[in-house]
Structure 1
């Protein structure tokens, strides 16, 4: 009986060691993939920030040029927003990811332009649009690359959240939401 007991104990010990090794392997693999995903997301954000900064500089140069030609600031903002919506480059609010917009800035835009500006915030993060009209508008932008299927997978920074909420509130006031 003692020999059989020793044999059972040895088999159970071996099984415990195998299970422990498998658990350690699974945890190590999960941590590596998690770290890799975080690293990839971080690199993507840095690339996006760099591209946004470059586009913002370019846009501010264009905005300065167009505003000097316009008779009033209001006409310039409305015109440039419409032009930007139909152009292959630029942003309606180039700094909406790095500074807070004012209600006055937003209210100068048409309802369509405000909705576009909201979509633009998500487009910067690579949202793939389901509405054909939005797909067409953003796919012609040089800076746009649709990579994210679900809007819930996008994390907006504090400026973007506040700006999107303010734009949505204005649309609601206008009865467009």
Structure 2
């Protein structure tokens, strides 16, 4: 039992409190315990504030990722190397080219544009053309002076492009054209350097052509006739 006033343990009901001298009726231990515990003030627990989401962090992270992707594309493009080795005294050139898979690069460029939110309908097409070499060659058949063309690849062209393919063999050698449309077409090519008038060029005959050019111009003329052009 406990003293009702100060809570000191009392051994007998008739015994006053040895501590404060209170002689009132002592209380049972269970009642005091319940009362004492109920008198206690509740403990306030403060839950720490959770960190708020900061959109600036995500924006900075997105910019860093975009910069990294663009830098990667630049490195890949710069690793495309073209090496030309010339044999001394032979007058011929052996060309060895190391090129990166162009389709892989084009797909990668599309992914970068998606991350950056760039309109892929215009910018990506321009990039793909530059990667594939279409903006640099400016030829129908860039190598028509160094290999024999196949009939199938010629027949696959439009009537207009077949005509250009035949005449670019002449244009590469510096021939001018009496047809204004053809002359304007080749004037726009960066590689075209006119040297001969139509009369001067024709006077040279077939001697001006190498074996590939002679074969290819005759093959293209033959296919034009067969197709009714």
- TM-score normalised by structure 2 residue count: 0.40
Q: Radius of gyration: which is bigger? A: 2
Q: How big is the shift at 1:89?
A: 5.0
Instruction: Give 1:130 deviation, angstroms.
Output: 1.1
Could you tell me which runs of 5 or more consecutive residues in structure 1 were left unpaired when the two chains were aligned. 1-45, 70-79
1:98 to 2:98 alignment? no
Alpha-carbon distance between aligned partners in 1 of 2:136 and 2:142, rounded to the nearest angstrom = 14
Q: How many residues align?
A: 108
Higher relative contact order (CA 8 A, sep 6+): 1
Asked if 2 retains the 8 angstrom alpha-carbon contact of 1:114 and 1:171, the reply is yes
Q: Residue 128 of structure 1: CA displacement?
A: 0.8
Q: 2: distance between equivalents of 1:89 and 1:132?
A: 23
Does 2:165 correspond to 1:117? yes
1:160 aligned onto 2:213: yes
TM-score (norm 1): 0.51
Kindly indicate whether the alpha-carbon contact (under 8 Å) linking 1:100 and 1:162 is maintained by their aligned counterparts in 2: yes
Instruction: Classify the secondary structure of the residue corresponding to 2:167.
Output: helix
> 1:107 and 2:155 equivalent?
yes
RMSD: 3.5
- 1:97 touches 1:159 (CA, 8 Å); kept in 2? yes
Q: How does 1:16-35 map to 2 (within 5 A)?
A: none
Match of 2:62 in 1: none
With over 3 angstroms needed to count, the CA separation of the structure-2 counterparts of 1:146 and 1:88, relative to structure 1, is farther
| C-alpha displacement of 1:88 | 7.9
Distance across 2 between alignment mates of 1:166 and 1:147: 25
Structure 2 unaligned regions, length at least 5: 1-90, 107-128
Deviations 1:75-118, CA, capped at 9 Å, x for gaps:
xxxxx9xxx6xx78521111110110010111110111111001
Distance 1:88 1:137, change over 3 A: farther
Which of the pair is proportionally richer in helix?
1
